[in-house]
Chains A and B, each alone.
Chain A
Amino acid sequence: MNTANDAQTNVAQHRDYLYRYALLHLRDASRADDVVQETLLAAVESPERFSGRSSLRTWLTGILKHKIIDVFRKQAREQTVDNPGGSESDEEFADLHFNKQDTDHWHSFPTSWGNPERSLEDKRFWEAFDQCSQQMPGQVARVFYMRELMGLETEQICQELSITPTNCWVMLYRARMNLRQCLEIRWFAGAR
């Protein structure tokens, strides 16, 4: 028999996973703790909503995603006042990567990463990856996580964060430029 107590135990087993998931997105231990708490509470209060069609963990992660997006929405609202998106203007950002005097050529040309798929099984690659993604500015990181980690479409992201598609593409562009450069320096330059 599946008592409320059983459900509580089952749900709690996934706390550690949910915490790691939340921490990667929110980059703040106490905020991550909060959303996991809320997620577990929401799950235990309505165990009948778990249909068993997906795994319990997948179901819990689904609830957690909504909680994380709620936090993102709030952060995006707070940030627009003093800091609209990334910190630099488009021109300032471009100057970091391209040389205006030389018809906008790369300061340092992107290099071949050889056979990068091999890195996917390397724990140290993921340490570098997580460190690089932590370096992205707040709004840039939020849009990137929603797009790539959560797999949302641009339209959904625009709606959740109340930004325009163009703004969304600029944020994703900056995220990819930052992450690419960081991975090249921290991982591929040395590991090849």
Chain B
Amino acid sequence: MLTCRQVSHLVSEEQDRRLGWLERWRLRVHLKVCEGCRHFQANVDFMRKAVRHHPLLRDQDKDE
């Protein structure tokens, strides 16, 4: 089984490249049993969403 350290890498890389089927499968197996890594994945997902809502980017289309 993958370690938490390996999983943290895959969770991050999932944001930037398409994982192979074996990687996806091993990731899913680990996440099923590891709450900490599930939180990590949710936190990382949220951070991407957060950056897209950055006040600076929201102000970009304001033309005063």
Contacts from A to B (Cβ < 8 Å): 13, 17, 20-21, 24, 55-58, 61, 94, 97-98, 103-106, 109-113, 116-117, 119-120, 126, 129, 147-149, 154, 165, 168-169, 172-173, 176-177, 179-180, 183-184
Contacts and interface: CB of A to CB of B under 8 A. Distances in A.
A180 B42 CA distance: 11
Q: Is the interface of B mostly helix, strand, loop or mixed?
A: helix
Contacts of B53: 120
Interface in B27-60: 35-37, 39-40, 42-44, 46-57, 59-60
B17 A169 contact: yes
Q: Is the interface of A mostly helix, strand, loop or mixed?
A: helix
Given A55-B63, A98-B5, A109 B39 contact: yes
Contact of B36 (A24, A57, A106, A119): A106
Q: Of residues B49, B55, B59, B62, which shows the largest number of chain A Cβ atoms within 10 Å of its Cβ?
A: B55
B6 A104 contact: yes
B47 A176 contact: yes
Contact of A113 (B37, B42, B54): B42
A184 B16 contact: no
Nearest to A105: B4
A57 B63 contact: yes
A89 to B, nearest CB: 14
B3 A104 contact: yes
A129 B8 contact: no
B61 A106 contact: no
A88 B61 CA distance: 39
Given A110-B39, A169-B13, A173-B12, A129 B50 contact: yes
A149 B57 contact: yes
A24 B55 CA distance: 11
A104 B54 contact: no
Contact of B8 (A126, A154, A173): A173
A97 B40 CA distance: 12
A183 B51 CA distance: 13
